[in-house]
Amino acid sequence: MKQLLACLTIAAVIVTSALAIAQAQENVKEEVLAAQKRFYQAYESCDAEAMEPLVTDDMMYLHSTGDLQSNKTELLESMVTEDGEADSALASECFLEILRVDVDNIRIYGDAAVLFGDLHVKGTGAPKIKAKLRSSQVFVKQDGQWLFASNASVEPVPLETSLGLAEQQ
């Protein structure tokens, strides 16, 4: 009887520990999703001041157009100048009506998180743009904060319409 009680106690501890770990993992995912939401809200509103503390210094943002912002300074400069005017070739991105990611997959690896989802973009400038892209982001935890580190966006293209693959056939 004592052995059965000991086994049940050990099983209860294991189950409780597993549930606590699963809950902690969910809490981390919620923290990362909140960081991602703050990042895209600042980006959508072209708020460089709000954006500055949300990204790593060496972040990279690869746009579906192939344009790359390879650090925080380039990202912030792409937003607006002191007079409110767009300040880069990527300036059309600073006139956004919609910029959000609907995350469908998230993985946590210690102090790093990888997110996948649909990136929705709708611009108000010229040319008017509207796109649904596939996107992945990486967030890293530094000094207790989840920070944006990387993005890569692509436009889904059916295999038979891919120009690069069509040249190979």
pLDDT for 62 equals 94
pLDDT band at 88 (very low <50, low <70, confident <90, very high): very low
HSE of 92, CA atoms in CB hemisphere, 13 A: 14
Question: Coil, strand, or helix at residue 135?
Answer: strand
Percent of the chain exceeding pLDDT 90 equals 49
pTM assigned to the model: 0.76
Q: What is the pLDDT of residues 58-84, one digit of tens each?
A: 999 999 889 999 999 999 988 864 444
The pLDDT assigned to 11 comes to 63
pLDDT for the residue 157: 81
Residue 95 in this model has a pLDDT that exceeds 80:
no
Domains and CATH numbers, the chain: 2-156 (3.10.450.50)
The per-residue pLDDT for range 134-156, each reduced to its tens digit, is 999 999 999 999 999 999 999 88
17-40 average pLDDT score: 83
Enumerate long-range contacts of 43-51, CB under 8 Å, 24 or more apart. 43/79, 43/93, 43/96, 43/99, 44/96, 44/98, 44/99, 44/100, 46/79, 46/80, 46/94, 46/95, 46/96, 47/79, 48/76, 48/79, 48/80, 51/75, 51/76, 51/79
